[in-house]
Homo-oligomer: A and B are copies of this chain.
Amino acid sequence: MGGRRPQRADARTNRERILNVAEEVFGKGGQSASTEEVARLANVGIATVFRHFPTKAALLEAVLVQRFDRLREQAETLFHAPDPGAAFFDFFSHLVADAAGKIAIAEALFEAGGDHDGDAAQASDGLRRAVGALLQHAQRVGAVRDDVELPEVYALLVATSRASARAHLEEEVRDRMLTIIFDGLAPLRNARAQLKT
């Protein structure tokens, strides 16, 4: 008994292609993009999609887990960067730029902050933790104000990601937006506090 044959080669490649196509399709059209379009662009029947991913939600979740994990790994790579300040700001910029045109990802990143459980929420949490570590390192070297905490920083990260996810936001405007936020995160604000009195 138990003589289970291994997965067939074509099944494996199909699953992978579906996942990649789904990332693009959901990225461009959001969660409301149709499963049929994913199948068509992957040169695959609709049934094949559902065979590999029992529901549309499962497919979306698989896409998200893949993406979140990838981002988390990138963040972890920067844990031991020589300049933690640059590491933090670079990762912030990179994530926001990366979100351009990735509607579903940005949305999910956003909602996963909440109550939903499941693999995607778990992966999202891992990313959040990694960002938290980057933030702490940056604060330790004085590149970021000590009095800011992860929740508001992450909220800003998510908000700007979502903002650049949809069209109509030129790269230049996005950068100027980030400049403002980065200025707000920088320390030495108290120069003004003394003035204000």
Say yes or no for A10: interface residue by CB 8 A criterion. no
Say yes or no for A136: interface residue by CB 8 A criterion. no
Question: Which range contains the number of A residues in contact with the other chain?
Answer: 35 or more
Q: Are B158 and A163 in contact (CB under 8 A)?
A: yes
> Which B-chain residue is minimally distant from A162 (CB atoms)?
B162
Q: With A114-B167, A115-B168, A159-B159 as given contacts, are A188 and B180 in contact (CB-CB < 8 Å)?
A: no
Q: How long is the Cα–Cα vector from A128 to B183 in the complex, in angstroms?
A: 24
Interface of A is mostly: helix
Say yes or no for A169: interface residue by CB 8 A criterion. yes
| A114 proximity list for chain B (CB < 8 A) | 166-168
| A169 proximity list for chain B (CB < 8 A) | 155
Q: Are A113 and B168 in contact (CB under 8 A)?
A: yes
Q: How long is the Cα–Cα vector from A174 to B152 in the complex, in angstroms?
A: 7
| A159 proximity list for chain B (CB < 8 A) | 159-160, 162-163, 177
8 Å CB contact of A173 from B155, B163, B179: B155
8 Å CB contact of A195 from B111, B183, B191: B191
Interface string of A154-187 (1 = CB under 8 A from B): 0110111011001111100110110111111110
A136 to chain B, nearest CB (A): 17
| A191 proximity list for chain B (CB < 8 A) | 188, 191-192, 195
